[in-house]
Structure 1
């Protein structure tokens, strides 16, 4: 009976995760739309009156944060993280229809690979083994990883300063690292220990805010259909690696095959030029 209950909890968490990443993708799209409009107004010397899309996007990002947290209380990182690939598909559709950014044949191939890999990874997952207990000294392990995003933020600041075309993509990759750490922190907060739960709940909020800021930097310096794939590919890979190394999660051969489709698919999407078809709609 307990096994059946745990299985249903895992399935429910997976469905909540899908809803979370759907909200995330639309929220990111609205952020980019809002930033486009605000930059256009600023360039024309007008007061910023068209921040509505950005505000709605921020609300959806908060919804994503809460729903993903609920999902990670009962579902391992190696099942939730690949869903970021599906959210990328939704975002690219949004960027094509609303932001009017281009989608190349290479990008379409990437979309198909992401969808196929995500389905394989989900089907192969052991739905009966999703509980989390304790892990050895996660605080020390997390301390080791903190210099990576800090160094990335410094690099992004330099690239933005010199107006490099790579600044948007780099900001996306740093945002992906921060998102992965947010995901891991949320998962660790499910450990039945008040001190660990409190510590990693605070870390999750800090990483969430930091990734949101870094995404805004990326959108201000690059196309959404370049920034987001860079963030997604990085977050999926880093989250799964940290899940295996810090949480002792396991991944079977079929899931590895699934990831073998997801990662190249995301990389193909990240390689798109990302030039707008024409100006963003008013």
Structure 2
């Protein structure tokens, strides 16, 4: 399924960044080029955005404010001093809690990091990426560590602007160090969280992971219950107990997020989107979309282009 490329994503969101920023790249410069990496600063005012998927990594450092960030099936509270990595092919959207948030944004492709790396380091880099793909949660950094991470973002910004000898290698090393710091912080948090996980919470986690893998092929709770080797009744009761909503609503919500992404960001017809989302025909897709979003796919698509 097509994902937004780095250059494409920067064009889509260009309007939300300022000209001549104090930090980060100026997307409005005539000579602006993105060669697999970009660093930006964004002040986000109160709003909720449409889900998006891209083919690169986004490493986000929250400097001020607080927001909710949704990645795949999970919602995370993002306070200041949080560091979070969004991997490729992750469906992502956010909603501000405070009126304004300030974020440093570091974007990079996997090929940018891996290019010209020695074989000895290549496997460690792949293991690092694999770890973060399986562990999407943010890390809340202690003040001393946050200061160090903040300085590394500033150093990356300087290197990308000045482009002195070996700057690409230095930038890559900074990014890898940030990813290792994030991995260590996540592991510390996971160790303490795992001690308090109940059986119901484990089932819920597995269910949400299965939805992400199978939402295009499985629409019934019985399908997921079979994969989990429990009864549909047990699964339904567990999800209601832990999350407060029906198990089926999470399958529907995931389909809706994919539909919103495809309608807004992909040059596909509604018939093509209906096929991608495994609906029997466009009318069935339209009924589903309208029942969950209170408008037709056509009306939504027309509205977002105003």
TM above 0.5, one fold? Answer: no
Task: Work out which structure has the larger RCO, using CA pairs closer than 8 Å and 6 or more positions apart in sequence.
Answer: 1
User: Which structure: greater helix fraction?
Assistant: 1
Q: TM-score range by the shorter chain?
A: under 0.3
Q: Which has the larger radius of gyration?
A: 2
Give TM-score, length-normalised by structure 1. Answer: 0.26
| Greater strand share, structure number | 2
